[in-house]
Structure 1
Amino acid sequence: MKKNIIILTSLSILFFAFSSCKKAFLDEKPFSAYTPLTLTDSLGFEASLIGLYNHTSTIFSWSDQQGWPSVWQVGTDVANATNNQQGVEIPYYNYETLTPTDNGAARTWNRNYIMVNLTNIIVDGIDNPATTTISAKGKNQISAEAKFFRAYAYNNLATLFGGVPLITHALSGPKIDFVRAPIADVNNFIVADLVFAAANLPDIESVKTNTKGKMYGRANKFMAMQLLAEVYLRIGKPDLAEQQAQAIINSGRFSLIKNRYGVKTSQPGDYYSDMFQYGNERRSQGNTEAIWVLEQENPNTVVGGITDSPQQRRVWGAAYYNIAGMTVADSLGGRSVGRLRLSNWVLYRLYKGNDIRNSQYNIRRKYYYNDPSPTYAAIYGKQVPFSGPDTLINICPSTTKWGAFDPNDTFGYAMIKDFILMRLGETYLLLAEAQVAQGKTAEAATSINVLRTRANAAQVSATDMTKDFILDERARELIGEENRRMTLMRTGTLVERALRLNSNDASKPITGLTTKALLLPIPLNEIQLNKDAVLTQNPGY
């Protein structure tokens, strides 16, 4: 189905606008204020703001294309597709097939521009002189929350596509004359939105409350500051990035997890793995490191608790149950299908010593026969041999961060865990990256050693501090969490690192990777439908 930048929400605006031109007997006064034309009261704005979180979840979930999480990992330095790939990820390691008709690029464009329009509706509404029942402070808070998400969407677009059409107001009708704004203009717009958001969003301990307590899942100023640090790094302003990251750390609102906590402390594990247990991920559940957690709910207990059956567990985990003598178990993270595997660089060269991030509780490398039926009595409890083709899918070493067993969904189709989108561990990494970019290698080593001390890893010195080392440390700390492709595109290192560290996979090797992949192709549908102006394509496509 063709999708273009003329966003669906604008069609509802047209519907109501056209209706208002009919005869007087059709000019009914609405009893609620939730459409864009009547977005003037606090309830309407609140409903629209909550909708932004729902839409954000659709950026991470796409069950029609189950390989969607792989798009952002395979063909980089950290992961490879397997023979159980789904298909949408193929152009992201077989780069010759990455073209302007690519489904992944089109999905990315679509999801983020829908977000832009949804946020523009809110910002336009709050700026409307007819909005008189909300205080100036209340207006600023509403605008700040919307502008954070608008900046989030535009940063995704700028990182992945470069200069893009800059839409600053809600669309009120079809538009087919878009042109790409210079990347500097897009960047300035993102920064302005985030500076406003950081100044007007609440402290994380001053967020709204409901009957269950503080709504830590709602936007707070530290979310804007963390994103602003990343943006400043991307646009070459590391001194400003350092200020933002340092301010988050110095706020005293967050602390690294260093002790066991939460729902599985009575079971084998460690304090790092506790952070990713279902029921432990939120600030309200004890995760003192969490800055932004996109909260999800089990749809069996909360209608609409997730969107479109997220596939992260199925993609990242091994398909161990395919081996005779193995059965699905909560202790093994539930049912996965092994659509990707960690690269040999990650598995065998990235971690050194007793780094907790490489412990058996964080990267599962061994499996033991667990089917108690009499048929397998002779092998029950013994280790599954790590040999042969099973090591590429069925018992491939894998991160445990997405594992969770839902007894309501034993087939394991949907992933119901929260998305930890920002945490203090990454703040230290952004800080160190900013310091390295300024030549402050001693300070960068100090920042990195905070994480390495927590991880029980060897300390590093100023002479170790390079951009490459920071990217290595990001992989150690954030494997399975970060959008690795975006990180390497942001830093301009995708081609060099992928080819140097992950070019020889035995099953699905990287091919055709050149510098053109530092930007994604502008979707062909967008170019063709934009008939009254030229929407230029990125080089090489």
Structure 2
Amino acid sequence: MKYIVPLIILLAVGTASCNKMLDEEIVTNVTDDFYNTKAGFQTAVNGSYVSMRNFYSTERGMTLTETGTDIITNGSDGNFKFTSQYTSQLDSRYDHIREVWNSFYQTINTCNVVVDRADKVPDLEEATKKKGVAEALFCRAHYHFVLMQMFGAVPLRLHENAEIIREAHRDSVSAIYDAVINDLLAAEAELPATQAEWGRATKPAAEHLLARVYLTRASSPQAKAGDYANAAKYADMVIKNYGFKLLTDVGQVWAQGKENNDETIWAAQYTTDPLYGYADNNACRFFLMQYDVLKGMKRDLANGTPWKRFRPTKFLIDTLYKDRVHDVRYEKFYTTLWRTNAPVDNLKMGDTAVFLPGYDVPDAVIATKPYMLVPPRLYTEKLYPSLNKFADALRPDNQASGVRPFIAMRLAEAYLIEAEALMMDGKKQEAADLVNVVRWRSARIGATPAETQANRDAMTVTAADMTIDFILDERGRELVGEQLRWFDLTRTHKLVERVKLHNDEARSNIKLTHMLRPIPQDQIDRTVNEFPQNPGY
């Protein structure tokens, strides 16, 4: 293909002694033969993970997967509001799609180096070879799957590019699904249940991704008999076979320093080590309102650096999180209270400076408060409840990028995948039972067991509640911000419908064209044969 791919792309993946994260030695000035050695093989395996950090917790990854949906719209800042609003600027010249496309194909080539050369490396232990190839297959499948969801038919690259090839062809979506599933099945067969270095692919991570892939194909034109059953099967294996547990407190799932918890299946790795820092790890900034210009407030690490990129839609706050009596997820996931950190006038250190109560308050009441009281009718592109899942107080300073890992797969989603698959296969009561496990975990703990049970009862759903829209609502409540929403809406063919219903900024522009992203123009321009663009771009 004309897409120019270096023989191998290697970047540091990082180390952290507290988490035993994926460890990679930086290698420079090496020849191609290095990758035919045991050290080179392991370096290439580690390099297979590089593009996870190009995508997860980055502005490009977040913009392409969260904003412009029914639950997240644009804030006041940033150069890419057109993605959220689906204006004419969302075209083939768009930086983020080019960056994801280029990075993923470069790292797919690294994965292919591992797969193609494994049998040629002298004295490579069989167990090391099998595990390394399995990790590379997991990564290759992941990249192809994301590319296919975004762009549809894309080039399927299953062998190393040893030279520049000037042609590229879009392989069928059906062939890509088959290749992704084959890679994941092969990886699942060889990967261990756990890894000493956190962040490496594992058997349950491969099974979780298989469940996602089968669920996605099941509602596509490429659907095969048994796809929903397979999605349910692999999700159920993740739930039952590895000792994962839903945390009692849903607010602790994303607690900094505790990301490697009983609920986490797989996470993209970052670190506090400046040698391995990554400037694009900025999820901690994107969802924050502009608190730092308000009375009694200044910017600090605890409150974060407010870039005001993404804000919740009215639908998310007022409808999906309407129940705040029994369900604690809104109060756990969203910051609505800021305490004074820059004393002024009658605001002392630690006093309430800003409060967003989530319900309407008369102007007369607002006027009596020494602090800023902001009911929903006064929300703006700069002033809104702020998602706090990615809060990062361990950055070295306010200008530094994030250092925490990004949880890309967790157990709550496995429950919701299995529930959706069973529902689509007509097993609605079994689906409701699984959804209830997730919902009951988030029921408010009462003063007595009876109060707790009453809250659970209030959150209990039945077979009659099981529709695709309800599942999407529940995924929105639970998984908001976790780089899944645009994929959820496109795979269920609900993107246009739900954005028109629930996103004020995007509803007038979105159309069926936007079910896919535009192919990057440089890919089209650098290919000697005709490389067709997606319809409508």
- Normalising by the smaller structure, the TM-score range is 0.7 to 0.9
Aligned counterpart, 1:7: 5
Cα deviation digits, residues 168-209 of structure 1 (max 9, x gap): 1111111121111111111111010000000001112xx2xx
Alpha-carbon distance, 1:215 to partner: 1.7
Contact residue 416 and residue 434 of structure 2 kept, 8 A: yes
Q: Residues 115 and 133 of structure 2 are in contact (CA less than 8 Å); yes or no, is this contact kept in structure 1?
A: yes
Matched, 1:45 2:36: no
Q: Hey, what does 2:406 align to over in structure 1?
A: 419
> How big is the shift at 1:432?
0.8
Q: Taking every aligned residue pair, what percent have the same amino acid on both sides? A: 28
Which SS does the other structure have where 2:186 is aligned?
helix
- Cα deviations by residue, 1:417-464 (Å, 9 ceiling, x for unpaired): 210011101110111111112111111001100101101150100011
Query: 2:493 aligns to what?
Result: 492
Aligned mate of 2:205, from 205, 210, 223: 223
Which residue number corresponds to residue 297 of structure 1?
271
Structure 2 vs 1, CA of residues 72 and 132 (structure 1 numbering), >3 Å: closer, same or farther? same
State the SS of the aligned residue for 1:361: helix
Match of 1:137 among 127, 143, 147: 127
Q: Matched residues in 2 for 1:277 and 1:412: separation?
A: 22
Conserved? CA contact 2:66–2:483, under 8 Å: no
Equivalent-residue separation in structure 2 for 1:110 and 1:174 (angstroms)? 15
Sort the Cα spacing of 1:435 and 1:389 in 2 relative to 1 into closer, same or farther, 3 A: closer
Asked whether the 8 Å contact 2:66–2:485 carries over to 1, the reply is: yes
Alignment of 1:116 onto 2:114: no
Cα 1:358–1:61 change in 2 (3 A) is closer
Q: 1:366-390, CA deviations, whole angstroms, 9 ceiling, x for partnerless residues?
A: 3344423557459943542205997
Query: Within 2, Cα distance between the matches of 1:73 and 1:424?
Result: 20
Q: Structure 2 vs 1, CA of residues 67 and 242 (structure 1 numbering), >3 Å: closer, same or farther?
A: closer
Q: 1:379 to 1:61 in 2, by over 3 A?
A: closer
What is aligned with 2:517? 520
Alpha carbons of structure 1 residues 339 and 32: separation in structure 2 relative to 1, 3 Å? closer
Provide the C-alpha distance between the structure 2 equivalents of 1:357 and 1:179, rounded to a whole number of angstroms: 49
Q: Structure 1 residues 89 and 69 mapped into 2: Cα distance closer, same or farther (>3 Å)?
A: farther
Q: Secondary structure at the match of 2:392?
A: coil
Match of 1:75 among 68, 71, 74: 68
1:232-311 correspondence runs (5 A): 232-236=214-218, 237-258=227-248, 271-282=249-260, 287-298=261-272, 302-311=273-282
Secondary structure of the equivalent of 1:396?
coil
Give the direction of change, closer, same or farther, for the CA distance of 1:387–1:116 in structure 2 (3 Å limit): same
Q: 8 Å contact 1:334–1:405 — kept in the other structure?
A: yes
Could you tell me which residue of structure 2 aligns to residue 367 of structure 1?
338
TM-score, normalised relative to structure 1: 0.83
- Give the distance between the partners of 1:112 and 1:32, measured in 2 at CA: 21
Residue 148 to residue 114, structure 1, CA distance change in 2 (3 Å): same
Q: Distance in 1 between matches of 2:376 and 2:534?
A: 42
Q: Confirm or deny: 8 A CA contact 1:33 1:41 kept in the other structure.
A: no
2 CA distance for matches of 1:89 and 1:46?
A: 40
Aligned to 2:294: 323
Quick check: 2:150–2:517 contact (8 Å CA) kept in 1?
yes
From the superposition, tell whether residues 461 and 34 of structure 1 become closer, same or farther in structure 2 (CA, over 3 Å): farther
Q: Distance in 1 between matches of 2:176 and 2:61?
A: 26
Match of 2:158 in 1: 168
2:373 paired residue among 385, 390, 399: 385
Cα deviation per residue 1:101-136 (whole Å; 9 max; x = unaligned)? 2222212211211121110111111133xx231233
The number of equivalent residue pairs is 481
CA contact (8 A) 1:364 1:398 kept: yes
Residue 267 of structure 2: SS of its match in structure 1? Answer: strand
> Structure 2: how far apart are the matches of 1:43 and 1:328?
45
Contact 2:61–2:483 (Cα < 8 Å) also in 1: no
Q: 1:307 to 1:126 in 2, by over 3 A?
A: same
Secondary structure of the structure 1 residue equivalent to 2:208: helix
User: Structure 1 residue 148: deviation in Å?
Assistant: 0.3
TM-score (norm 2): 0.84
Helix, strand or coil: the match of 2:490?
A: helix
Describe the SS at the equivalent of 2:337. Answer: coil
Counterpart residue type for residue 273 of structure 1: G
**Structure 1 residues 356, 403: CA separation in 2 closer, same or farther (over 3 Å shift)?**
farther
Preserved CA contact (<8 Å) 1:317 1:398: yes
What residue is the counterpart of 2:356 in the other structure? none
Structure 2: which 5+ runs fail to align? 11-26, 219-226, 353-369, 444-455
2: CA distance between counterparts of 1:443 and 1:361? Answer: 28
Shift of 1:297: 1.0
**C-alpha contact 1:313 1:403 (8 A) present in aligned 2:** yes
Q: Is the 8 A contact 2:415 2:435 kept in 1?
A: yes
Whole-Å Cα distance in 2 between the matches of residues 175 and 32 of structure 1?
25
SS in 2 for 1:443: helix
Residue identity matched to 2:5? I
Aligned CA distance change for structure 1 residues 223 and 36 (closer, same or farther; 3 Å): farther
| Equivalent position of 1:19 in the other structure | none
Amino acid at match of 1:81: N
Letter in 1 for 2:130: N
Query: Does the Cα contact within 8 Å between 2:152 and 2:516 map onto a contact in 1?
Result: yes
The superposition leaves residues 139-182 of structure 1 with CA deviations (integer Å, 9 ceiling, x where unpaired) of 22111110000000000111111111111111111112111111
What CA distance in whole angstroms lies between the structure 1 residues aligned with 2:401 and 2:243? 33
Distance 2:331 2:324 in 1: 13
> Would the aligned equivalents of 1:71 and 1:89 in 2 still touch at CA under 8 Å?
no
Q: Distance in 1 between matches of 2:329 and 2:141?
A: 34
Task: Tell me the alpha carbon deviations over residues 275-321 of structure 1, each in whole angstroms, 9 at most, x when there is no partner.
Answer: 21211111xxxx100110222111xxx13333224221111122211
Instruction: Point out the more displaced range, 452-461 or 191-200.
Output: 452-461
CA positional deviation for 1:42 = 2.7
Aligned to 2:180: 190
Matched with 1:354 is 325
Quote the Cα distance in structure 1 between the aligned partners of 2:329 and 2:57: 27
Q: Which residue of 2 aligns with 1:338?
A: 308
Relative to 1, partners in 2 of residues 1:67 and 1:173: Cα closer, same or farther, differing over 3 Å? closer
Structure-1 separation of matches of 2:136 and 2:9: 20
- Which range moved further: 51-60 or 174-183? 51-60
Q: Structure 2 CA distance, aligned partners of 1:390 and 1:125?
A: 60
Partner of 2:24: none
Q: Which residue of 1 aligns with 2:462?
A: 461
1:180 maps to 170
**CA apart distance, 1:71:** 3.5
- Structure 1 residue 509, shift from structure 2 partner: 4.2
